[in-house]
Structure 1
Amino acid sequence: MQLGQIQQTALLTLYARALDSRLSRPILGDPLSADIASQIDYDFAKLKVKPNLVYSTALRARRIDDAVRAFTTAHSEAIVLDLGCGLDTRAARCAPPSGVDWYDVDYPEILDLREKYLPGRSHLVAADLTSDAWLEQVPTGRPAMLVAEGLLPFMPGDTFATMIRRLARHVSGGELALNGYTRFAAWTMKYHPTIKALGIQAAQGFDDPREPESWGSGLTLAGEQLLCRDPLVAEFPQPLRAATRFMALGTGMSRQGSRVLRYRF
């Protein structure tokens, strides 16, 4: 299987969710990810996935799932756009109402894998997210839940903000949920063993959770969850649990870890 460096991050997060599902007390509990990973001919060991990535990936996915479920429960005829979806099984985990249309958006190579391992679960939209040509495949006039998990650091310059601005104008209001990297956290990602193994230079983020309100998208901050303060940290193994709780002592430190941000527009 031939995938580019960025595309291989889909396998990284898939494997992290698969490892979580095999724990005696999983945080996310996503056996479908484990099933998919077992079918893919790929040397997952070279990704060097450590426990901190397994637990943080599972926890952020769980909290973003919570946001998606809340929105689709309140808007039973909404659309969901999972931007840079990779091989995430979020549509299966969230099981939205029948009136909700789900769109998984990613590179064509990733969508080929979704066709093989997750057939018929969503509308697939092949896209270069730095352009706007793909928007013609997205319906207008319906509230939208925009999901951007793990996407921000891999979009160059201001292309992430530009994408959100285009989407906010295209759909009929809604919410955006993402894991918000600070500038420092995004910069340090390139030194993480898993990212370094793939040769990716990730460097994009923002510190103030209200910064996206200035993007010209009509965004209003609806919530910031600092995941190092999440009750499920109690399920982390030591010494990861102690290190995470130490980060939770200050807001500045807490923001350098995983956080889930929600915006209304």
Structure 2
Amino acid sequence: MQQKLKGVPETLLIPLWARATETQSSSPIVKDYKAVEMMKNIDYDFSKFDNTWLSQIGVAVRTELLDNSTKTFIHKYPNAVIINIGCGLDTRFFRLDNDKIKWYDLDLPEPIRIRKQFFAETERYKMIAKSVFDYSWINEINISNEPVLIIAEGILMYFTEDEIKSLFNEIIKAFPGAEVLFEMMTPTVAKMSKHHDTASKLGVKFNWGIKSGKQMESYNSKIKFIEEWNYFDYHRDRWHWMRLPSLIPAFKNRFNDRIVHLKLC
């Protein structure tokens, strides 16, 4: 199946490649056999990502962190509604489904077109083919009083600060009380788009970075920071030459992404 993605939408192929490659490694951090199947059936030159070990380990660690945090939420709220913003070719619903949750995967029309080659909608699993900034997608979320978790993985760094603030303002109005898990990039890393091992190959630019997830509280008084997890703290044996400098707090806090956990009041 040939893909027609360019620019930021094309980046969805990076985590697919990373999860599939990780799954086939000798000691995988995550196992995603559906990603292996999908990569084999998509007509794309994935070899351009060969030897990009930094993105490989980064995606593996963030997948593990988001999986564990999402599982914790589902365990606490078995009937939850989960909204996956900028889902790309993510397979998390099919790996974590408890047969009770309702799950919405949201992305642009072309990524959703590709998803529909591999996944079918059900009563509890829906795909929405819209931009995250076309806020009419909110009207397609069927919710009563269920707890809501919003996931934003590998997407927010491509937008501007004003766009991020607008998005969170709309989410807060639509889903008060929801929790959010998102991947943040530091300002230092965001300025290094041209040197990023995979994004640079696709000609895309990072536009947004923050020093800490705590900074999100300044965006809206209804955002409450809960916690964050720095990728460097996990699977240290896989970080190659970065393992030692990552022990230095200044380096650790400037040069790696994190998963941030928020509560919307």
Task: Give the number of aligned pairs.
Answer: 259
* Gapped regions of structure 2 (runs ≥ 5): none
C-alpha distance in 2, partners of 1:142/1:205?
A: 31
Q: Is the 8 A contact 2:186 2:257 kept in 1?
A: no
- In structure 2, the CA distance between the partners of 1:127 and 1:49, relative to structure 1 (3 Å rule), is farther
- In structure 2, the CA distance between the partners of 1:146 and 1:251, relative to structure 1 (3 Å rule), is farther
Displaced runs of 4 or more, over 3 A: none
Shift of 1:24: 0.7
Aligned to 1:155: 159
- In structure 2, the CA distance between the partners of 1:31 and 1:58, relative to structure 1 (3 Å rule), is same
Cα distance per residue 1:148-179 (max 9 Å; x no partner): 11111112342122212211221241211112
SS at match of 1:223: strand
Shift of 1:130: 2.1
Aligned to 2:132: 129
Shift of 1:251: 5.0
Aligned to 2:103: 102
Aligned to 1:91: 93
* Gapped regions of structure 1 (runs ≥ 5): none
Cα distance per residue 1:50-77 (max 9 Å; x no partner): 1121111011111011111111111122
**Which of residues 34, 43, 46 is equivalent to 1:44?**
46
SS at match of 1:210: helix
Cα distance per residue 1:182-231 (max 9 Å; x no partner): 1111121332132121111222111132111122261211111112122x
After TM superposition, the structure 1 stretch with the greater mean CA deviation from structure 2, 80-89 or 26-35, is 26-35
Aligned to 1:61: 63
Aligned to 2:31: 29
Amino acid at match of 2:146: R
Aligned to 1:244: 243
Alignment of 1:175-186 (within 5 A): 175-186=179-190
C-alpha distance in 2, partners of 1:249/1:191?
A: 22
After TM superposition, the structure 1 stretch with the greater mean CA deviation from structure 2, 248-257 or 198-207, is 248-257
Shift of 1:48: 4.5
- In structure 2, the CA distance between the partners of 1:219 and 1:251, relative to structure 1 (3 Å rule), is farther
Shift of 1:252: 5.2
C-alpha distance in 2, partners of 1:157/1:190?
A: 20
Shift of 1:255: 4.5
SS at match of 1:117: coil
What is the root-mean-square deviation in Å for CA atoms of aligned residues? 1.8
Cα distance per residue 1:105-148 (max 9 Å; x no partner): 00010011111012236210112112312111113443211101
SS at match of 1:193: coil
Amino acid at match of 1:223: E
TM-score (norm 1): 0.91
Q: Is the 8 A contact 1:213 1:219 kept in 2?
A: yes
Shift of 1:49: 5.2
Amino acid at match of 2:253: S
SS at match of 1:196: helix
SS at match of 1:139: coil
C-alpha distance in 2, partners of 1:258/1:157?
A: 17
After TM superposition, the structure 1 stretch with the greater mean CA deviation from structure 2, 215-224 or 64-73, is 215-224
Alignment of 1:111-126 (within 5 A): 111-120=112-121, 122-126=125-129
Q: Is the 8 A contact 1:186 1:202 kept in 2?
A: yes
Q: Is the 8 A contact 1:186 1:205 kept in 2?
A: yes
